[in-house]
Amino acid sequence: MTDTPTVDPLILEAVKRASVAWIDASGVEYALWCLWSDGALLVVCGEGEQNDPGFTPQGTCRVRMRGDHGGRIVGFGATVHPIEPGTPQWDELVPSLASKRLNSSGGDTAAQWAAKNTVWRLVPDAVPDQAGTALPATSLAAEPRPNSATRPARRPYRLHRVKKRSLRRWWPLVSGLESSPRRRRR
């Protein structure tokens, strides 16, 4: 369909298996649902779908792919292109993307995307910038972003008061003495 550069085999294998990619277009990484098709990642952003991470037409973004256990496999740059509704590219790619969409709201998903959302095509660079020994050695864990869903944790409610046991009764056994100076009567 379009002239795509030869993609590194590691990138190709990672994006074919993944359904989520970590994408950074504006300084913050977002986990976005995606689909590999026709030599590019397809991503839907907009109302009722995923948040737009700051894509601009013909802009660039950073894409990070992770493995099954959360470890980073490869990182690469990508060029961002919007897919316009009504074009031959839209007619070819969007129906396959809509069929892979889980939990869709029903009806014609492609028509809803044409009216309210933007479908982006992320064409990867030919060579990854992070792969193998070039992967960072640190965890790269980021602080959670603040949102309205968080609240301070409360102490758990206790139905009965739990009494602390005295160590005095058990002290001789703990300290290694064989007999206790104070014995309990039975």
User: So where are the chain's domains?
Assistant: 9-134
pLDDT digits (tens, 9 = 90+) for 60-100: 999 998 877 777 788 899 999 999 999 999 999 999 888 88
C-alpha to C-alpha distance for 19 and 3, rounded to whole angstroms: 24
Residue 170 is predicted with a pLDDT of: 56
pLDDT band at 167 (very low <50, low <70, confident <90, very high): low
Tell me: pLDDT of 174 over 60: no
Residue 49: closest CA among 104, 88, 129, 99: 104
Share of the chain above pLDDT 70, in %: 81
The residue whose two tokens read 């028509």 is 111
C-alpha to C-alpha distance for 60 and 37, rounded to whole angstroms: 19
**All residues at 6 or more sequence positions from 26 whose CB lies less than 8 Å from its CB, including other chains:** 53, 54
The residue whose two tokens read 């995923």 is 50
Kindly provide the residue ranges of all beta strands, DSSP E only, lying in 54-105, ordered along the sequence: 60-66, 72-83
DSSP-H helix ranges across the chain: 9-17, 88-100, 109-116, 171-175
Residue 52 is predicted with a pLDDT of: 87
Pull the structure tokens for residue 121: 């095509």
Residue 176 is predicted with a pLDDT of: 55
In this prediction the pTM is 0.70
CATH superfamily of 9-134: Electron Transport, Fmn-binding Protein; Chain A (2.30.110.10)
pLDDT band at 155 (very low <50, low <70, confident <90, very high): confident
